[in-house]
Chain A
């Protein structure tokens, strides 16, 4: 059986009629007892399970997922990876994530197709230029690559931009190491690597209730029976509040639908990632040739996984403002993911008031870029009981102490 992926194994299996590949991950029946349980088979949950096994030697681990792995926001995002944050806490955390992404293909032996094609944030007015300069300076002070470009330099770097836009492009910040990766591959790569280390990945398994004795979690009741463990991590994104309610918890989270779209595929025409906060759009081109574009939040609570029409129109208008030549292209697909927004647009990673129950959530519109670091830090707190230094400021207690990390207003980037 062929387990490791390489040019040699590809050649060998090609000659062998592709009969020797083994499934990328096992499909085990759940056991009654685990050392740790991770709820949620998206990027963060799968990364958590992997790092529990790899960094902390916990291999008697179950990952349970209500649907199929990577079927939620991990399969619905616009795959942008960046660390262009403002505050030192966020910058250190997201930069750690980008650095893990840079090595992930080798580490997982799974090609996540991470393409560091740059990530531009455009400024369309004087205040936008000031924000862009401030953002670039903050990034440089935090040790992150950043380049401020004036208008002509933006045009020189991004071919095809509208030469005569209604909202002039006066400047922009580029993070050259930003880019995009194949989102499914991130989920599948972590799943394959975690499974190889002994993690049980159990799909189509819904958590119905928590078993809590004397304020300490003891296990979960699921559609596949009772699974016992004194350490449980929740990484369920937009459904965090729904799951936490089963444990008797309230969270500072509001769930909204975030839309994204892809166009019909065309030949390569856009070799970077563009965010234009003023026109409310972000845009890149996938390896298949589709333009991938995102909108802002539909600003009322939603668990519907479909977006509304006014935002769809606004996103399309924003793209046409930047690239009028795309006006005759057609949308191929439109969808939405349910994102968990917190007041300061900073994630929540750490313990909950229930003993042994940990949370990874509050990613808002930008969880994909944080998958490796979010999994790393949730695994750390689950294994050791102590918050990871990179995530020590991301606890639930900040809403009580007031020690917010207000990236929502500081970064000037879409959340």
Chain B
């Protein structure tokens, strides 16, 4: 069970939350000048990294507010949560070195 630090409510269990996918996606525009390829990229193509991912979360069974998080897709560790509209705080070198070492997943 993940413990997720809602920036409004504090740490809560993962069942209270929904993930809203990749964050910081900018809608292209003006719409008359956007090509089909750019619309496709905006609507369907995603970063999908193996490592840190910046994504939106929704505290569905709590304050019902949206926020951003930087989370590792292998360890599931939340490095930081931050408010919608804010830039993602950069990783703190010292804090990162204190993070527990979690073995990587097996091979696919």
Contacts and interface: CB of A to CB of B under 8 A. Distances in A.
A71 B49 CA distance: 21
Contact of B76 (A254, A302, A343): A302
Interface stretch (B24-32, B34-42, B82-90): B34-42
Given A255-B73, A299-B19, A303-B50, 4 more contacts: A72-B107, A250-B47, A301-B49, A309-B1
B45 A250 contact: yes
A21 interface: no
Contacts of B18: 299
A310 B1 contact: yes
A225 B44 CA distance: 35
Contact of B53 (A301, A309, A337, A343): A301
A59 interface: no
B74 A303 contact: yes
A254 B46 contact: yes
Contact of A400 (B15, B40, B108): B40
A242 interface: yes
Interface string B1-35: 11000000000001100110100000000000000
A241 interface: yes
B100 interface: no
Contact of A67 (B2, B40, B48, B106): B106
Most buried by A among B21, B45, B48, B49: B48
19 contacts: A67-B107, A73-B108, A238-B108, A241-B46, A241-B47, A241-B49, A242-B50, A250-B41, A253-B46, A299-B18, A300-B19, A300-B55, A300-B71, A301-B49, A301-B73, A304-B73, A304-B76, A343-B44, A400-B40
Interface string A238-256: 1101100000001111110
A253 B48 contact: yes
Contacts of A250: 41, 45-47
Contact of B40 (A252, A254, A255, A305): A252
Interface residues of A, number: 36
Contacts of B1: 308-310
Given A299-B19, A301-B53, A399-B40, A251 B45 contact: yes
Contacts of B76: 302, 304
Contacts of B73: 255, 301-304
Kindly state the interface size class of chain B when it binds its partner: 20 to 34
A299 B47 CA distance: 16
Interface of A: 66-68, 71-73, 236-239, 241-242, 250-255, 299-306, 308-310, 337-338, 342-343, 399-401
Given A310-B14, A399-B40, A400-B36, A305 B105 contact: yes
Contacts, number: 91
Contact of A308 (B14, B46, B50, B55): B14
A236 B73 CA distance: 18
Contacts of A73: 108
A239 B46 contact: no
A310 to B, nearest CB: 5
Contacts of A304: 73-76, 105
Nearest to A337: B108
Contacts of B43: 343, 399
A222 to B, nearest CB: 14
A310 B15 contact: yes
A301 B105 contact: no
Contacts of A300: 19, 55, 71
B45 to A, nearest CB: 5
Contacts of A241: 46-49
B88 to A, nearest CB: 16
A400 B105 contact: no
A35 B53 CA distance: 37
A374 to B, nearest CB: 16
A67 B107 CA distance: 6
Contacts of B48: 241-242, 251, 253-255, 301
Nearest to B57: A300
Nearest to A239: B108
A255 B46 CA distance: 10
A237 B106 CA distance: 14
A390 B55 CA distance: 36
A68 B106 CA distance: 11
Nearest to A340: B48
A332 B51 CA distance: 30
